[in-house]
Amino acid sequence: MQRPLDPRQLDYAADDVIWLMPCFQKLRDELQARGRLAWLEEEQAMLCDPANYAEQDEMVFWRVKGANRLKGAHLAALRELAKWREVEARRRNMPRRRILSDETLVDIARRKELDLQTLSRIRGLNHALIQHAGKAILRAWHQGIHMAPEQWPEPPKRRQLAPGTDLRCEMLDTLVRLKAESGSIAPSILADKAELSALASWGHRCKKEPPALACLKGWRYELVGRDLLRLLRGEICLSIDARTGQPRISSMKAIR
């Protein structure tokens, strides 16, 4: 954003500060009135836990846009470059893409030969960065590009879904939407599609412990998680209320 800010932008920024606390207090009072203040405290504790943001530097390259276009030694080079960028971003307390964009990172990794002169011709690399970190970038690239084939990264295998997973997932999604409607809360806050898919796949046999998912913890478990497990275990079912024509949750014992 261009500096200095114009009066309209300054007013907008000031409003964020002026109204933030009143909005928070109003929402907090509503949660307290509904008996959901503990939900807020639980969410805040989770957001403030550093463990939720820990990421292995060795694996961060899979999140680089364009990583799927590389393979073999070039993918290994991307892994080392992404690892360097991650460490550098933490050291300088900057967003990783402010250090080097994903596009530039992939452009460097795909090179068959690389030196400081070549770096100077790559889009997204300015003179100051090359002066400061050019040699470190070259070291990371060389380390990856000359890595033995057995050390090359292997693309993650697609998870095989158990038979009937899609149908079970639709049933779980219906249950989540019913719970969300009755609780006046967005369904995606209770459980997202990836969680429901993982749970539906586990529900093929319901063996071992269920997967560690957010919807099976804390207040989400109390509101919807317990019934998701009960549905998969055949303890409850979804049916249509003949009187209202609306879906409802029924106990299998009552039906029997």
In this predicted structure, what is the pLDDT of residue 1?
61
**Within a domain: 160:** no
**At residue 49, what is the residue type?**
D
In this predicted structure, what is the pLDDT of residue 5?
86
Last residue of a domain, one of 151, 184, 217: 151
In this predicted structure, what is the pLDDT of residue 256?
58
> Structurally, how many domains does the chain consist of?
3
pLDDT < 50 stretches in the chain:
none
Percentage of the chain lying above the pLDDT 70 cut: 98
**Within a domain: 234:** yes
Domain region containing 134: 60-151
Residues 64, 143 share a domain: yes
Last residue of a domain, one of 94, 127, 151: 151
Cβ atoms within 10 A of the Cβ of 219, count?
16
**Within a domain: 183:** yes
**Within a domain: 2:** no
**Within a domain: 1:** no
Tell me the CATH number at 175.
Answer: 1.10.150.80
**Residues 172 and 198: beta-carbon distance below 8 Å:** no
Angle at the Cα of 219 from the Cα atoms of 217 and 223, rounded to 5 degrees = 105
Cβ atoms within 10 A of the Cβ of 38, count?
13
**Within a domain: 156:** no
In this predicted structure, what is the pLDDT of residue 125?
92
Residues 147, 88 share a domain: yes
In this predicted structure, what is the pLDDT of residue 53?
74
Last residue of a domain, one of 151, 185, 207: 151
CA–CA gap between residue 78 and residue 95 (Å, rounded): 18
In this predicted structure, what is the pLDDT of residue 17?
87
In this predicted structure, what is the pLDDT of residue 255?
60
Residues 175, 241 share a domain: yes
Residues 236, 170 share a domain: yes
The 10s digit of each residue's pLDDT in 99-148 is: 999 999 999 999 999 999 999 999 999 999 999 999 999 999 999 999 99
Residues 17, 84 share a domain: no
Residues 171, 250 share a domain: yes
CA atoms within 13 A on the CB side of 196: 23
**Within a domain: 157:** no
pTM for the model stands at 0.72
In this predicted structure, what is the pLDDT of residue 23?
93
Residues 72, 30 share a domain: no
